[in-house]
Structures are given as C-alpha cells and as structure tokens.
Amino acid sequence: MVNEGVSGLYAGLGTNMINQIINGFVYFYAYSTVRKIALSTSSTDGKSLTTAVELGVGALAGMVNQIITLPIGVVATRQQTAHHAERTPWYQTVKTILCSEGIRGLWAGFRPAMLLCSNPAITFGVFERVKSALLRDGSREYLSSAEAFWAGALAKTLATIITYPYIMAKVRLQWRPSKEELATNGEEIVYTSSTDVLHKVLRREGIAGWYKGMQTQIIKAVITQALMLMIKESFTHQVIRLFALLNKRSKAVLVSKA
C-alpha cells in the first residue's frame, strides 16, 4: 500500500482470474470424467465410491489440471511477487521466463504441484463424505446452498492445513527475488527444489516458517472453494430439474399426439 497504493493489492489480477477460471473448468471436467469412469467400473451400487478411490480420483484430476494450467499460475505468481519497478504485462513476463529459464521455467514448482494434487483430492474426498453423511436419510438428493458452502469450507480448511508446507514451497519456487533482495540475502533465497525450500525455511524460521501466511491462504481458499462447491451443487441441481421438466413436457406432447 505504501509503495504502490491500492493497485498493488491487485497485482496480477487479470492473469490470476484467467488462471482461476481455467483451473476450475479443467479440474471439474477432469474430476467429473474420471469419477464417472470410476463409478461405472465400481463394484458397489454405481452411486458411491470408497474414500480411497475418491481421493485417487481427485488426485488424478488434479494432476491433469496442473499439467495444463501450471504455466498460467507461474506467470500470475511472478506478477504478484515482482518488485513494482520490475513488474511487466503477462506476455512480457512469459518472454522473460522463456529467455532466462527456457520452457521449463513455465513449469516451475512442478514437483510440489504434483504433490499438491492431494489438496483437491482431500477437499473433494472430505466434501463427498460430508455430503453423504448429510444426505444419508434418503429424503433428498442435494445439499442446500448453506450446507454445500460449509461442507466445502470444512473440506478446504482441512486440506490446506495438511498440505500448506508444500503450497509455500511451490510459491517460493515460482517466485524470483529482485536484485535488491539478492544483494541482501544472497543464495539463501534462491531455491532449487521443494526440499531445498523446506530445509532453508526451517533453518531460518523454524517450523513456524512452513506455515507462514497460512491464515490468509485458508481464508482465500475457503472463500473460493466453498463458493465454487456451493455454486456447483446448486447448478447441478437446477440443471437436472430442468432436464426432468423438459422430459416431462416432451412425454406429455407425445401422449397428446397419440
């Protein structure tokens, strides 16, 4: 705020919004597809999966999502963390990454990103378990908006707490220090792997350093994920109701013609 004003709080907003939209679309599409396949091959009633399979489905969908969307996340992170004097538009940021680090630079933090596929897996696994518990009496098929929101908030909070050290490591691998920061701290803030990040942070800041900024991450993650799950649950319900209504009307038309 002092150095950049209010606009500094929204650095990289455009790229991050695109990242969130594509991220959500790719993940939900991959998750729905993989889950449908898992249900069709399941030995159960075809309506539910075991917790282990549910987590596996989420992890696989997350891997597909990360492979596709990680470069956008890298660009967004660079824009958000760059010194305001060195911040550039997204296309210039991409050019800088390619020139200095090559194509691999766009997938910085790939390994921790793969490990973090357990985050959405835990989120959706817990969400589906909570959903099943709330609907176990069989009187309804869908959660209310409030139930979906709080179930999503609980699931995302748990997933974030479990995986946060690697969230921190991924961000630090994608970040590049400014010239001033390098001059002050040297190689201590240059990271080569997630293990290197965790080791250096532990040495400088202790275990607390692994969870630095977690509260803000939880607030952000809970709001975005809980709202997304709430909207998804409501949207799915309304679409099915619409198709049921259209099907009912088409049958009525056929009966009247007969």
Could you tell me the residue ranges of all domains in the chain? 6-257
Q: Which CATH architecture has domain 6-257?
A: Alpha/alpha barrel (1.50)
Which tokens sit at 89?
Answer: 């538009």
In angstroms, the CA 140 to CA 170 distance is: 41
Rg value, the chain, Cα: 22
The answer to whether 118 and 66 have CB atoms below 8 angstroms apart is no
Tell me 2's DSSP state.
Answer: T
Distance, first Cα to last Cα, the chain? 72
Q: What are the distances in angstroms from CA 81 to CA 151, 187, 200?
A: 32, 18, 19
The answer to whether 84 and 3 have CB atoms below 8 angstroms apart is yes
Q: What are the distances in angstroms from CA 136 to CA 31, 54, 131, 187?
A: 23, 18, 8, 55
In angstroms, the CA 3 to CA 216 distance is: 21
pTM of the model: 0.62
Tell me 3's DSSP state.
Answer: T
Per-residue pLDDT of the chain (258 residues; tens, 9 = 90+): 445 556 555 666 677 677 777 877 888 888 888 888 888 887 656 566 777 787 788 788 888 888 888 888 888 888 777 766 677 787 888 888 888 888 888 888 888 888 888 887 788 788 888 888 888 887 887 788 788 888 888 888 898 899 999 989 988 888 877 777 777 777 788 888 889 999 999 998 999 999 998 988 888 877 777 777 777 777 777 777 787 787 777 766 666 665
